[in-house]
Chain A
Amino acid sequence: MTDTSSRENHLLITLDVNGEQHEILVEPRRTLVDVLRHDLGLTGTHVGCEHGICGACTVLADGKPVRACLMFAAQAEGTALRTVESLGDGCGGLGDLQQSFTEHHALQCGFCTPGFLMLAEGFLAECPDPEPDEIREVVAANLCRCTGYQPIAEAIGHCAARRLKEK
């Protein structure tokens, strides 16, 4: 058993985010989403409700979608994290999932979009050929107040189909 802190002290932790190692000093109560945004400057991940309802803060931990507001940064040590910043094509352009969201008008204000993108990225990794009903079930995890969800479901389905075709 290690007492890695006292109430006054901070924790020195190492986070693996988008393939890069970051050594940071954080308060134990710091949630993962706050560390991503404030300590690492990765502001693509959004903070919404801070109690696990809205899904705006969804990121991938070891490939699986998780709520970054319902995880202390200290709990994320030893897991490979991925945020929306990892989705681009590597040359400053959009990745295929992002491109599909754009083509299908799957965003309006864009606040929920990073969460939906990471939710979909994690879901498609596990379920590369989903039925429309499965997509609808999964997007129920996050809140969007602009689109009515239909374009989001279509964007995810279209991206899945395109990935399968290109395989």
Chain B
Amino acid sequence: MKPASFAYHRARDVAGAARLLAELAERGEDAKLLAGGQSLIPMMNFRLARPGHLVDIGGLAELAYLRPDGTGGLRIGALTTHHTVETAAEAVLGRDFAVLRDAMPWIGHLPIRTRGTVGGSLAHGDSTAEWCLLALLLDAEITAVGPHGERTIPAAEFFHGFYTTALEADEVLAEIRFPRPAPHAALAEFAERRGDFAIVSAAVDLDVDDAGAVVAGRVALGGVAPAPLRIPEAEEVLATGGPDRAALFAACADRAAEAADPPSDMNGSADYRRTLIRTLIRRACEEAISR
């Protein structure tokens, strides 16, 4: 179908976009930011979304970057495309953030990744989205610019559920920062067709000591609730460590499947999703430790 009509505004800078959003909100207008448009435009074409105004920030080159933050972390500008991360030079992501590059092929297909942006994906807040899961897993910090300045929101407080985030109507998501290296992290997911939305996605980030033993870790799941979730019960299992890695990963996966309360819908029953959780967490753990 064709989208409903709307007024188009092209932003010249981030502050201007935030000001315009504030103005439109004040007038009671329904406005949306347009970045890569790979989630918003399909929704508009289906007329599931009919915003009266689009503020196009796609041309703001100052928001397209990928660089170390100087303290071991990584900053990614909101308009960086998935494809840019996927093809980033080894020197930029290094071993510490290889998990980001390796997660990219899970996102749609090549022609989606060339347009879709990191910030757009986070702001859309799909519970199975790879960036949402990675942000939550790696305790990322999200910077939003509003008409009165900027604020930083921890990923743990960002995803409120079902395409809802902590962003206000007049805020522009400007940057995501991954504060610490994640050399032993991995993401695994399952969908019936390559490129589809995941039925369940799982990501783990392991802390490994000098002898190569797992001493702690973080576990996040997508597709099991309206927002991506950390699973503290499974993280407690990882913190018990022990020499038998396979047993540890299996125990972690089982505990996550018990702790999660996934829905039953047309993509799969709750039991089916629990089986996927077990498989995918084990798979992600094995991949993470082999890095």
Cβ of B105 and Cβ of A66 under 8 Å apart? no
Q: A34-58: which have CB < 8 Å to B? A: 34, 50-52, 55, 58
Q: Is A119 close to B, CB under 8 A?
A: yes
Q: Is A4 close to B, CB under 8 A?
A: yes
Q: Mark B5-26, 1 if CB is under 8 A from A, else 0.
A: 1111111100011011000000
B58: contacting residue among A1, A2, A75, A119, CB under 8 A: A75
Q: Is A163 close to B, CB under 8 A?
A: no
Q: How many A-B residue pairs have CB under 8 A?
A: 115
Q: Is B195 close to A, CB under 8 A?
A: yes
Q: Known contacts A65-B110, A75-B34: does B41 contact A29 (CB below 8 Å)? A: no
Q: A1-60: which have CB < 8 Å to B? A: 1-7, 11, 27-29, 31, 34, 50-52, 55, 58
Q: Name the residue of chain A whose CB is nearest to the CB of B55.
A: A1
Considering the chains assembled together, what is the distance between the CA atoms of A122 and B10 in angstroms?
A: 28
Q: Which residues of A contact B6 (CB under 8 A)?
A: 7, 28-29
Q: Is A146 close to B, CB under 8 A?
A: no
Cβ of B7 and Cβ of A66 under 8 Å apart? no
Considering the chains assembled together, what is the distance between the CA atoms of A51 and B46 in angstroms?
A: 8
Q: Is B115 close to A, CB under 8 A?
A: yes
Residues of B in contact (CB 8 Å), total: 41
State how many angstroms separate the Cβ of A66 from the closest Cβ of chain B.
Answer: 5
Residues of A in contact (CB 8 Å), total: 39
Cβ of B111 and Cβ of A141 under 8 Å apart? yes
Q: Is B56 close to A, CB under 8 A?
A: yes
A28: contacting residue among B7, B83, B87, B115, CB under 8 A: B7
Q: Is A95 close to B, CB under 8 A?
A: no
Q: Mark A52-76, 1 if CB is under 8 A from B, else 0.
A: 1001001001001111011110110
B8: contacting residue among A4, A67, A71, A140, CB under 8 A: A4
Q: Is A132 close to B, CB under 8 A?
A: no
Considering the chains assembled together, what is the distance between the CA atoms of A11 and B10 in angstroms?
A: 11
Additional A-B contact list (4), CB under 8 Å, known A7-B5, A72-B54, A137-B105:
A1-B20, A4-B8, A4-B9, A50-B1
Where the two chains meet, the residues of A that have a C-beta atom closer than 8 Å to any C-beta of B are: 1-7, 11, 27-29, 31, 34, 50-52, 55, 58, 61, 64-67, 69-72, 74-75, 78, 119, 122-123, 126, 137-138, 140-142
